[in-house]
Amino acid sequence: MVDKHINFIELEKACAKPGCPLCTIIRERAERYIDGMLFEHVSDRVFRKEFREAGGFCFFHSQKLDSFRDGLAVAILSRDILEDRIAALNKRQLRKPWKPKGTCPVCVERKRIEKEYLTFLIQADGGENGNAVREFFTATEGFCVPHYAKLLEIPKFIPKWIVTFHENKFEELMRRTSQFIELSAYGRGAEFARLSEKDKLVWKEIARNLRGGD
């Protein structure tokens, strides 16, 4: 019950921001997670071992270390990884290149959060907060393509309104993108100029929708 409450509040907050609400939750949680993890667990042997086996964070999440406030934590964790990489490089294992044995800890956490919120959205339907969830969710631009695809993978009944909402969203994005392409043709400059700012920038919107995860 307490968890549900947290999910509700967090989803409502994310829905008030632009873009895919699940991307927003994950981005904010990942930042907090990296923050807490590096501060609290840098001296934790189990975490150090897991982090080392994963070869540190993936490319995407390791970029967040550049602006991290605790340089010492980054240095201690990174030294472990470099030590392993040097050992492998020195063996010149060209036929057997170094590969991490584990997965980026933030990516593991991301997967967990995705499942938690997608399940929450499905299960909220028909419950006491169902109408409120539906109302604030349908006021957003909805999920990005990767998150909607993940939702469909969940082996539960997906409420019809969620499916219709996204089908319409992607159809409309398709229509606006085609319009942008057509009006970009030679001789259609006047019509292009009449497009709204949003429609003129639809190429950014479609790229962001396909990518997700930011």
Q: Which residues bind Zn ion (CB under 5 A)?
A: 20, 22-23, 58, 61, 104, 106-107, 144, 147, 212
Which amino acid is residue 39, in one-letter code? Answer: F
Given the complex with Zn ion, which of 149 and 183 has the nearer CB atom?
Answer: 149
Q: For residue 149, which phi and psi values (nearest 5 degrees)?
A: -60, -40
Q: Return d(Cα 62, Cα 106) in angstroms, integer.
A: 9
Closest separation in Å from C-beta 187 to Zn ion: 38
Given the complex with Zn ion, which of 55 and 180 has the nearer CB atom?
Answer: 55
Closest separation in Å from C-beta 170 to Zn ion: 13
- What is the number of other CB atoms lying within 10 angstroms of the CB of residue 112? 11
Closest separation in Å from C-beta 76 to Zn ion: 19
Closest separation in Å from C-beta 33 to Zn ion: 10
- Give the CB-side neighbour count of residue 137, counting CA atoms within 13 A: 28
Q: Return d(Cα 14, Cα 10) in angstroms, integer.
A: 6
* Maximal CA-CA distance, the chain: 66
Closest separation in Å from C-beta 179 to Zn ion: 24
Q: What b-and-e string marks burial along 79-95, b requiring 16 or more CB atoms within 10 Å of the CB?
A: ebbeeeeeeeeeeeeee
Closest separation in Å from C-beta 61 to Zn ion: 4
The token pair that represents 160 in the structure block: 């019809």
Consecutive H or E run containing 24:
helix 21-41
